[in-house]
Structure 1
Amino acid sequence: MLKTVPKKSEILTDTWQQISWQYFLQLTNQSVYKNGKFYYDRGYMKIEMSPLGMSHGRDNAIVARLISLFATLKNIPVVEFTNVSYRKAEIRECQPDSSFYLGKVANLPTRSNQAIDLNQYAPPTLVIEIATTSLGDDLGSKRLLYEKLGVHEYWVINTNNYDVIAFEIIDGGSREIQISNVLPGLEISLVKTALERSENADDGEVNRWLIKLFS
């Protein structure tokens, strides 16, 4: 494990690297990594610095809007966060592309500019990662991380083919599902269809189609 504060040249971005929690926290505060996404699990960290293109941003927006519309029209309480850090001090940290608290949650995080403390607040109900070059990691190491954090569902969106892989997290493990449990009745295949439609339709057209389906 690294014994001194690592230099920028010593940090391997976009891959997992062994490092202590204390130095991980120092790196999160360095301006050179201000555009990075930070993950930490049991003594290993990953800083994602890959540029995010239009496909990543578009798919993230479409999926987040779909979830918000479904929850709204089905009277499911919903609170959405984008690129928020969740922290279980000295053990784990993550910064998913999108995350949602769904249903009645007793201890929702309060407003602040700090990482959400999972020793104080409940973990998000649903977490989403948008995969452009990180698909293997999103399905592997990150899935294990989210299992341990105790989220209820985890979705991975593959921007290369609109594929949506959804997992139910239960009893410390996960299994692939075709219908969401936290958004009852929502078929995962419909999310893929919405992404495909967004290739040739503007947001308003996709929204109207979704509202008609969900109403």
Structure 2
Amino acid sequence: MSVITAKWTIDEYHRMIDAGILSSRKVELLKGEIVEMSPEGEPHAYSSDEAGEYLANLLSERAKIRHAKPITLPNDSEPEPDIAIVQRLGREYREHHPYSENIFWVIEYANSSLDKDLETKSKIYAEAGILEYWVVNLKKLHLVVFRDILDGEYATKQTLTSGTIQPLAFPDISVEVEKIINR
């Protein structure tokens, strides 16, 4: 007997949120499926918070840093990345979460969610056209950088433990890898 999973649209998901159905659950919408989010341990909370503050100072007025807030993607997904570096659209975000075209790149911090972040979310972000995706592996303390979308997937994957990296959206800025992984 095969199992058929009910798929939800972003509109249906928002109606469930508005009705309070999901208020006691920490979930996100991934390709039409409502998925439980892993709880945030101390290393996760500390590292993502410190990195967000570092990026906010580094990028200043050029981008907005959103911490664990939803982004709305065209593939019936509304994930809540640990950090989303987005366009500064001000009050426009009162009407909608950032769309793919508003996002410079996203960062996920992963411990127990590593497989989901490296596999499922990398495909979702690539399909949505997000040009760059970073995953911080909290177990091994390294940064995995996904770039170069080809046929709906990232064609390049680079692992860094130190040095600097220039985000595709801001090639004139050097980001210190150790300040992102908070070694």
- Say yes or no: TM over 0.5: yes
SS of the aligned residue for 1:93 comes to coil
Is 1:40 the counterpart of 2:30 in the alignment?
yes
Match of 2:102, SS state, is: coil
Q: Is the contact between residue 27 and residue 34 of structure 2 (CA under 8 Å) also seen in structure 1?
A: no
Count of aligned pairs between the two proteins:
170
Q: 1:189 to 1:85 in 2, by over 3 A?
A: closer
Query: Would the alpha carbon gap of residues 169 and 115 (structure 1) be closer, same or farther in structure 2, given more than 3 Å must change?
Result: farther
Q: In structure 1, what residue type is equivalent to 2:153?
A: G
Q: Percent identity over the alignment?
A: 17
Gaps of 5+ in 2: none
Q: Label 1:37 to 1:138 Cα distance change in 2 as closer, same or farther (>3 A).
A: same
The separation in 1 between residues aligned to 2:42 and 2:55, in whole angstroms, is 20
Counting only pairs closer than 5 Å after superposition, residues 164-183 of structure 1 correspond to structure 2 as 164-171=143-150, 172-174=152-154, 175-177=156-158, 179-180=165-166, 181-183=168-170
**Structure 1 residue 134, shift from structure 2 partner:** 0.5
**CA-to-aligned-CA distance 1:20-41 (integer Å, 9 cap, x gap):** 3265445434355445131221
Q: Which residue of 2 aligns with 1:68?
A: 56
How far 1:46 sits from its partner (Å)?
1.6
Cα distance change, pair 56–182 in 1 and its aligned pair in 2 (3 A): same
TM-score of the pair, normalised by structure 1: 0.64
Residue 80 of structure 1: SS of its match in structure 2?
strand
Q: Following the alignment from structure 2 to structure 1, what is the Cα–Cα distance between the partners of residues 79 and 28? A: 6
Residue by residue, what CA displacement relative to the aligned partner does 1:113-160 show, whole Å, maximum 9, x if unpaired?
A: x65163xx7231110111120001100010000011221211111222
Question: Are the aligned partners of 1:126 and 1:151 in contact in 2 as well (CA < 8 Å)?
Answer: yes
Larger Rg: 1
| TM-score normalized by the length of structure 2 | 0.74
Q: 1:98-113 alignment to 2 at 5 Å?
A: 98-101=83-86, 110-112=92-94
- State whether residues 155 and 165 of structure 1, in contact with CA within 8 Å, keep that contact through their aligned partners in structure 2: yes
**What's 1:57 paired with?**
45
Give the gaps of 5 or more residues in structure 1: 3-16, 197-215
RMSD: 3.1
Post-superposition offset of 1:63: 1.5
Kindly report which structure 2 residues correspond to 1:128-147, keeping only aligned pairs within 5 A, or say none.
128-147=107-126
Does structure 1 conserve the Cα–Cα contact (< 8 Å) formed by 2:85 and 2:103? yes
- The whole-number CA distance in structure 1 between the counterparts of 2:8 and 2:122 is 21
| In 1: Cα distance, 2:111 partner to 2:96 partner | 25
Secondary structure of the corresponding residue to residue 106 of structure 2: strand
Return the letter of the residue paired with 1:92.
Answer: S
Deviation per CA, 1:30-85: give whole Å up to 9, x if none. Answer: 355445131221x433231x32121111010121122223223xxx7121111221
Match of 1:82 in 2: 67
Q: 1:14 — aligned with what?
A: none
